[in-house]
Amino acid sequence: MDGEKNITLLEKLRQHFEEEHGIEYTTEAITQMIVNRGHSLESIRKE
């Protein structure tokens, strides 16, 4: 993922957590969750 796609996908994931699960996360928290699952920060880096 890169550039604008990253931001859009992370925002959609954030909205999903809020709307479907009633959990509000920051984009930074979601990024950390992805990193904790074994993905490199570079693979999801926002540009």
Q: What is the pLDDT of residue 3?
A: 52
Residue 31's domain spans which residues?
3-44
Q: Mean pLDDT over residues 14-42, rounded?
A: 88
Q: Mean pLDDT over residues 4-21, rounded?
A: 85
Share of the chain above pLDDT 70, in %: 79
Tens digit of pLDDT for each residue in 29-43? 988 888 888 877 777
pTM, full prediction: 0.63
Number of separate domains in the chain: 1
Contacts of residue 47, defined as CB under 8 A and 6 or more positions apart, other chains included, come to 2, 3, 6
Q: What is the 3-state secondary structure (H, E, C) of the chain?
A: CCHHHHHHHHHHHHHHHHHHHCCCCCHHHHHHHHHHCCCCHHHHCCC
